[in-house]
A and B are shown apart, each in its own frame.
Chain A
Amino acid sequence: MRAPISYPLLLSLLTLLVVVLSTMSLLIGPAGIGIWTSLSALFSGRQDVVSIVMQEIRLPRAILGATIGATLGLSGAALQGYLRNPLAEPGLLGISATASLGAVIAIYTGLSAVFSLALPLMALAGAVIAVLLVRLLAGGGAATITLILAGVAVTSFAGALTSLALNLSPNPFAALEIVFWMLGSLKDRSMMHVWLSVPFMFVGWLMLAQVGRALDALTLGEEAAASLGFKLGTVQALVVLGTAASVGAATAVAGAIGFVGLVVPHILRPLVGSHPSRLLAASALGGAAVVLAADIAVRLIAPERDIKLGVLTALVGAPFFLWLIFKTRRELR
C-alpha cells in the first residue's frame, strides 16, 4: 500500500512532536516553576533550588523518557520486521524478563539499598545473560522459530525466578518494593541513570539501524532475502544484540514498560507504506513521543498518587490494541 504521507514529512512531524513533548516534560512537575525561569535554569551554572530541580530531576526524567521510548519503538519495529510477525515486541526475547530478574535480585538481597547503582547494573547483567542464553539455545542459526522458542523459555524461567524471589521475600516491604519496581517508572531517576543507560541504548540503536534493508528483503521470506545477498546470521546477531543492549539498558533504569514496543509500530506501519526499514526511524520517534506523553500524563492525572508509567501504558495500550485487532479483522474479512 502507498504511504498516505511522505516519509520525510512524517519524520519531521514526529520529531516536532518529540521536541514539544520533551519541553513539556521539562516544564511539568510539582515544583510549579515558570516557563522561562525553568528553561533558563536548565543551562545556568548556579546551585539554587530551581537549577537543581531542573538539572537533577526533570532533565534526566525527560532524557530517559525520550531515549527509553525510542528504544522500545525501535526494537519493537526491528523485531516485528525480523520475525515477520506483527505480534513481536521487545520483551519477546526474554531480555526484559531477565533484566527485571536482575533488578529484583538486587532489591531482594538488599544490594540496592547499600549501593543504589547495583539495581541497574544487576539488571544489565541479567540482559547479558538472557542474550547469551537465547543465542545458545537458538544455536546462532538463522531460523526465527527457534529464536522465538528460546525467548519464550528464557522469559518463563526468569518469570519463575522472579516469583520465587517474591515468594521468599524477607518482609512485605521488600515484596512491595519489588512489585512497584516492576511496574515501571521514570520517577526519581538521576543523571547517573542517564549516563549508565544511554550509551548502551545508543549502541543498540546503531546495531538496529543497520538491518533496515535486510528487513525489507525479509518481506519475501528468508530464502528470497538470502538470495538477495543478505547474511541472515549477521542480521539475527544485530537484531538480538541491538535489542539486548537497548532494551536491557531501558529496563534496567525504568523497569518494564509494556505495550509501547508492540503498539507504536502497529500505528505507524500504514503511514510508512508498510516498509520495515522506514518503520525503524518512525517507530523510534513515535515510541519516544508515547513514553514522554505517558510520563507527563502520570504527573498530571494524579500528582500525589504516583501512578506508575508501566501501568498507564498498559491501561491505555491494551484497549487500543484490542481496537487495532478489531480493525484488522474487519479489513481481512
Chain B
Amino acid sequence: MTTTGAQRLEILNLSVSLGGRTVVDKLSCRLESGSFVGLIGPNGSGKSTLLKAVMGLLPSVGEVMLNGENFLDKPPKERAQLVAYLPQDGQVVWPIAVEDLVMLGRAPHRSGFAPPTEVDRAAVESALAAMDLGSLRRRSARELSGGEKARALIARTLAQDTAVLIADEPTAGLDPSHQIALMETFCAKAREGRTVLASLHDLALAAQWCDQLILIDDGAIVAAGNPGTVLTADVLAAVYGVEAYFGESRRGLVVAPIARV
C-alpha cells in the first residue's frame, strides 16, 4: 500500500460561483481521517459542485487543506496520488476491457511509457475483487449493465489507492446487495485510516453506514455530525420538505421518507 498515513481533509471558507450565481457559499468543514462521511442535501443544493471544487475541477475561492498542506496548490499528478474522485456522469467512451478500465486508476502512480508494475497489478486485482468484478474483467465496459458499469468505475477509484476517496453519488444504479457491498467497502477503507466522502441521496444508507453526515442546502451547511443528530424530523421537513419514518435496526438508525409536507 502506498497510502501515506492518516490524512485530515479541511475545507476552509470555500465558495464557488457558476455563471454569476453563488453555488457554494463560504463553506467550512473538517473530515477526520479514518471516517466515512456522507454528504447529503436536496437536488441543486451544491453537493456535486462542492466535491468538484474540492478536487480543483472548478475555480473556487477559499482553501482545501490536506493534512495541513494546501491541496489545490499541489501539482495535478501529486493531487491524484492523494485523492481519488468518482464523477457522477459515469462516462466510458471506448469499449475497453473492465480490467483495463480499472488500470486507468493507476495512471497517477505510473510514469511515462512504463508497463504496469506488480503494485499496479495487485491494486487492480484487489479493486476488482472488492467490486465483485472477477467474472466481468475481460468484458467490454460498454457492454455492461448500468450497475455493472457503476461498479467498474468505482473499482477504478479504489485501484487509485489514495488516502482520500471522493465519490459523487456512487450508489446510483446499484441494486440493494451491491449498495450494501459498496457501503461495506467504503467503511473498510475508512477503517484502514482513509477518508471517504460520498454524496448520497439515499438517507437510509447514509444513516446506517456513515460515521458523519454533512447536510447542505443552498451551498451552505445546515447540519453536520452523527447521523442521529443530523437526521431529525425538523431538519428533514425544513430542508427536504418531507416527513420521515424513524426506526431502529440491527445496524442503527433507520430513516425512510414517507410523505411530502
B interface, by DSSP: helix, strand, loop or mixed?
mixed
Interface bits A257-276 vs B (CB < 8 Å: 1, else 0) = 00000000000010001111
Q: Does A2 contact B (CB under 8 A)?
A: yes
- Given A2-B138, A223-B85: A217 in contact with B57 (beta carbons within 8 A): no
Across chains A and B, the number of contacting residue pairs, with CB separation under 8 Å, is 88
- B93 adjacent to A219 (CB under 8 Å): yes
Interface bits A224-266 vs B (CB < 8 Å: 1, else 0) = 1011111100000000000000000000000000000000000
- Given A2-B97, A228-B108, A275-B100: A220 in contact with B91 (beta carbons within 8 A): yes
- B80 adjacent to A227 (CB under 8 Å): yes
Q: Does A189 contact B (CB under 8 A)?
A: no
**Residue among A226, A227, A269 having the largest count of chain B Cβ atoms under 10 Å:** A227
Which of chain A's residues 148-163 have a Cβ closer than 8 Å to chain B?
none
Interface bits B149-167 vs A (CB < 8 Å: 1, else 0) = 0000100100010000000
- B79 adjacent to A229 (CB under 8 Å): yes
Query: Closest Cβ of chain B: how far from A270's Cβ, in Å?
Result: 8
- A226 adjacent to B97 (CB under 8 Å): no
Bound-complex Cα distance A220 to B160 (A): 14
**Which residues of the partner chain B approach A219 to less than 8 Å between Cβ atoms?**
91-94, 96, 101, 104
Q: Does B237 contact A (CB under 8 A)?
A: no
Query: Closest Cβ of chain A: how far from B247's Cβ, in Å?
Result: 38
Chain A residue at smallest Cβ distance from B81: A229
**Residue among A84, A224, A276 having the largest count of chain B Cβ atoms under 10 Å:** A224
- B108 adjacent to A84 (CB under 8 Å): no
Q: Does A56 contact B (CB under 8 A)?
A: no
**Which residues of the partner chain A approach B156 to less than 8 Å between Cβ atoms?**
220, 224
Query: Closest Cβ of chain A: how far from B137's Cβ, in Å?
Result: 10
**Which residues of the partner chain B approach A226 to less than 8 Å between Cβ atoms?**
55-57, 76
- B96 adjacent to A227 (CB under 8 Å): no
Which of chain B's residues 189-221 have a Cβ closer than 8 Å to chain A?
none
- B97 adjacent to A1 (CB under 8 Å): yes
Query: Closest Cβ of chain A: how far from B100's Cβ, in Å?
Result: 7
Bound-complex Cα distance A219 to B101 (A): 9
Interface bits B63-101 vs A (CB < 8 Å: 1, else 0) = 000000000000111111101111101011111110011
Bound-complex Cα distance A112 to B247 (A): 86
- B94 adjacent to A228 (CB under 8 Å): no
- B107 adjacent to A216 (CB under 8 Å): yes
- A223 adjacent to B52 (CB under 8 Å): yes
Q: Does B105 contact A (CB under 8 A)?
A: yes
Which of chain A's residues 208-227 have a Cβ closer than 8 Å to chain B?
212-213, 216-221, 223-224, 226-227
Query: Closest Cβ of chain A: how far from B188's Cβ, in Å?
Result: 22
Q: Does B13 contact A (CB under 8 A)?
A: no
- Given A2-B138, A221-B91, A223-B87: A228 in contact with B97 (beta carbons within 8 A): no
**Which A residues have a C-beta under 8 Å from some C-beta of B?**
1-2, 84, 212-213, 216-221, 223-224, 226-231, 269, 273-276
Using A213-B110, A220-B104, A229-B107 as known contacts, list a sample of 19 further A-B pairs with CB atoms less than 8 Å apart, ordered by residue number in A.
A2-B138, A212-B113, A219-B92, A220-B87, A220-B153, A221-B87, A221-B89, A223-B85, A223-B87, A224-B156, A226-B55, A226-B56, A226-B57, A228-B104, A228-B107, A228-B108, A229-B80, A229-B108, A230-B107
- Give 21 CB contacts A-B under 8 Å: A1-B96, A1-B140, A213-B107, A216-B104, A219-B93, A219-B96, A220-B104, A220-B156, A224-B85, A224-B91, A226-B76, A227-B55, A227-B87, A228-B105, A229-B75, A229-B77, A229-B79, A229-B107, A230-B76, A273-B96, A273-B97
